[in-house]
Amino acid sequence: MIYIMTLIMAGIVLYIDKKTLRRINAQERKVYLTLVLFFIIFNIIEQKKLYVNYFVPVEWVYNKIPVMKNIYSFLENKG
């Protein structure tokens, strides 16, 4: 159901924006459709709550950007 609803939402937006899609050139259309593809991917991830176990952007920044963890602990110690 999630897959179908996501595709329907993407389809509605593509239908509303059909004039734009016809008017733009091939490169712009590629960027446009990539954004729609990202929506389909991220919406499925979000609806299935996959990100909670695997990828939360805030946690990613906290864990992956080298000094962030140290800064956070330092500030927490300072109250």
Partner 1 sequence: MGTEKIDSSQFFIISLLYTLGSAIIFIPHIVIKHAQQNAWIASLLALVIGLLPLFLYFKINQRFPNDTFIQILEATFGTIGGKVVGFITIIGFHLNLTVMTFRDFGDFVFIHLLPETPLHVILILLVIVVAYAVKEGLEVIARAGQILVPIAIFFFLLSAVLLLKNSDFKNLLPIFNNGWKPVVRAALPNIGFPFLEAFALIILFPFVTPKEKRSKSMFWGIVIGGLMVAIAVIYSLIVFGVEYSSAKIYVPYLLGAEINIANVIQRIEVIIASIWIVSIFIKICILFLTTVMGIQQLFNSSNYRIYVLPLALLVIPLSIMVMPNMSYWSIIENIWPFYAALFAVFLPVVVLIVGSFKRKKGKQT
Phi-psi region of 25 (alpha: psi -120 to 50; beta: other; left: phi over 0): beta
* The two three-digit tokens of residue 19, written as one number: 């004039």
Q: Within positions 44 to 73, which residues make up the interface with partner 1, using CB under 8 A?
A: 45-47, 51-52, 55-59, 61-62, 65, 67-68, 71-72
List binders of partner 1 among 24-43 (CB under 8 A). 24-25, 27-28, 31-33, 35-36, 38-39, 42-43
Taking CB under 8 A as the criterion, the residue among 1, 4, 16, 26 binding partner 1 is 16
Q: Is 15 in the site for partner 1 (CB under 8 A)?
A: no
Rule CB under 8 A: say whether 79 interacts with partner 1: yes
